[in-house]
Every structure is written in structure tokens, then in C-alpha cells.
Homo-oligomer: A and B are copies of this chain.
Amino acid sequence: MTRAPAILIMQPHLAPLTTLLEGSFTVHRFWEGPPVEAATEIGALVVAGEYPLDKALIDRLPNLKLIACFTSGYDGIDVGWCRARGLAVTHAPGVNHEDVADHALGLILASRRMIVSGDAQVRSGAWTAETRTITPSLKDQRLGIIGLGAIGEAVARRAETFRMSVAWWGPREKPAAWPRAESLIALARDSDILVLACKADESNRGLVSAEVMDALGPQGLLVNVARGQLVDEDALIAALKSGRLGHAALDVFEVEPTPAARWSGVPNLILTPHTGGATTAGVQGMLMLLFQNLEAAFADQPLVTPVAD
């Protein structure tokens, strides 16, 4: 009997994939120790695309042919470096962008309509006969979307249902149902709510700078469902503390998991643990593509969803 093709799962939070994959593959798990004995067998790495690739490890895997991102994003992957070594890279596009957009709207509603703070208010007994909390209506709020890809368009469609107006900015003009701002600063200045929905790479690290936060302003809300590195996190903390930026709601962070202490005492802030695209339906779709790409790679068939040039 032929031994099943060997794969190596890199990040411990992907451990639940093990039972689903070991029916078809010999599964190694990096955090249980370097796969020294299996080094010549491993044909594919299974990774979360936001984590930097361990290039030193890859150089010790002579028969590796595929870097399979479980995720849609692959910002941790040096694709050019992989190509130069003959390594294919796959990912899981188009399966969870609607769920990410749902989460963005959830964060907007939770912040603007004070759902997280309202829950704390009721539980602490601070709701009294004399208090009545008035929250801002979403009606006519101006939503600015950074990056009008699949997620950005899904956010825009939802925002219209909530009676918000929509504009966007991205580095490249494209046909769209909503107007493109002339610059990111202009978009921030003319928005009440700014949502990050773009891809991240080295070219746009820290895209949302202190200057962008100042343009969004003391009533503004910054929502990030894209990647933590797109926001200058130190500047964000300072802007929220000083009140120069009104509110923020973050699903992604410069370092994940983000240390709890980093956010202690930072006001007007909602934090979620990178759950935007990690839904039951999203994970099923991602798993299906992962499986198909692994099968194709080991059968020397065309990959289903290779990373585009």
C-alpha cells in the first residue's frame, strides 16, 4: 500500500483540520516539533496566509511543491520567493467575503448603536429611570470603504440597506456603482465611518496613519476587517486616547492574538478575535478548496485556486 502524501500544518489554531485531512494525507503538525524524519516526504504546507512563511524550514523540505493557504488572504507569503523555488501557492478566495462584510456591519452597528457598551451599562446597573441613551442613527452616515474588492462591494451593498451613503478609495480606478475619492485622506475627511477592506502587502503597511485618523476625526469610526498591519496601531491608540479619533472597531491586529494589555484603558473601542471570515459556512468552503488544491498538487493536476499573478 502506498503511503498517503505527507503534509505539514504550520499554525496551532489550524489543528482542527487534522482529523479532516488525515483520511487522505499523512498529517504532521509543526508545533509538535520540527519534522526532521519526515522532511523528505512532506509535499505541502498548510498555512494561515497572514503568518510569515518560515523560509528556513522550507529550505529543509526538498520535495515540497505547494504552499496551501487555508485562508483567502496570503499577505504573509512571499509569492515571488516561492515561485523562484518552483513552489506553487494556493488560497481560498470567494468563500467568506460575504461573512466578512456581515461582520463589518456588525461592528458598525455595535459601535454606533452602542450595543457592547449598552450591554455593559445594563449589567452594571447604570441604566436608571433618569438615563436615556440616545445613539446615532445610521441614516445618512457617510461610509468610506478602503478597497472595493469582493469584501468592499459586499459592505457597500449592506450599507445602502442601512441608508448610508457610500464612497470608496483604492489605488486603482475601476468601474463601480459608488464614487471613488481622489485620495485616502479625502475619503477619510468626507466619511463618518471608514472601513478597511483591502488586501495587505508591504506596499500599504501603516496605510491608515495618524493623518488619516485625524481626517476621519473626533466623531469618526474606523473599522478594520482586513489586516492589522494596514493600521498604525500605536497611532490609533494615541488618537483614541486623545479623542482626535472618535471610535474604532477592530477584528484584526498587527500581532495576533493581540495582547489584552495593549488595549487596556483605550476608550470607544470594540475588539473581536479575527472572527470576520471564520464562520461555519466560510470554513466549510475554505476546507473544500484546501482539499481540492492538495489533491490536485499530489496528482500533478492543475490547481483549483492558485494565487493570481
Contact A11 B133 (CB under 8 A): no
CB within 8 Å for A13 and B260 given contacts A158-B161, A275-B114: no
Indicate which residue in B102, B124, B129, B257 contacts A260 across the interface (CB closer than 8 Å). B124
Residues in B whose Cβ lies below 8 Å from that of A135: 275, 278-280
- Stretch in contact with the other chain, from A136-144, A232-240, A295-303: A136-144
A174 interface residue per 8 A CB criterion: no
- Stretch in contact with the other chain, from A37-45, A104-112, A206-214: A104-112
Q: What is the chain B residue whose CB lies nearest that of A258?
A: B122
Contact B129 A273 (CB under 8 A): no
CB within 8 Å for A283 and B134 given contacts A13-B129, A118-B273, A272-B119: yes
Contact B103 A278 (CB under 8 A): no
Oligomer: number of copies: 2
Contact B278 A119 (CB under 8 A): no
Contact B116 A119 (CB under 8 A): yes
CB within 8 Å for A110 and B99 given contacts A115-B116, A134-B278: no
- What's the minimum C-beta distance from A134 to chain B, rounded to whole angstroms? 5
- What's the minimum C-beta distance from A270 to chain B, rounded to whole angstroms? 5
Q: What is the chain B residue whose CB lies nearest that of A11?
A: B129
Contact A99 B137 (CB under 8 A): yes
A60 interface residue per 8 A CB criterion: no
Bits for A251-265, please: 1 = Cβ < 8 Å to B, else 0: 000000111110110
**Cα–Cα distance between A106 and B106 once the two chains are bound (Å):** 6
A127 interface residue per 8 A CB criterion: yes
Residues in B whose Cβ lies below 8 Å from that of A116: 110, 115-116, 119
A130 interface residue per 8 A CB criterion: yes
**Cα–Cα distance between A15 and B106 once the two chains are bound (Å):** 32
**Cα–Cα distance between A12 and B125 once the two chains are bound (Å):** 17
A25 interface residue per 8 A CB criterion: no
Chain A contacts with B in 6-45, Cβ cutoff 8 A: 11-16
A203 interface residue per 8 A CB criterion: no
- What's the minimum C-beta distance from A263 to chain B, rounded to whole angstroms? 7
Q: What is the chain B residue whose CB lies nearest that of A250?
A: B122
Residues in B whose Cβ lies below 8 Å from that of A12: 129-130
A131 interface residue per 8 A CB criterion: yes
- What's the minimum C-beta distance from A244 to chain B, rounded to whole angstroms? 22
**Cα–Cα distance between A132 and B14 once the two chains are bound (Å):** 8
Residues in B whose Cβ lies below 8 Å from that of A133: 273, 275, 278
**Cα–Cα distance between A111 and B110 once the two chains are bound (Å):** 10
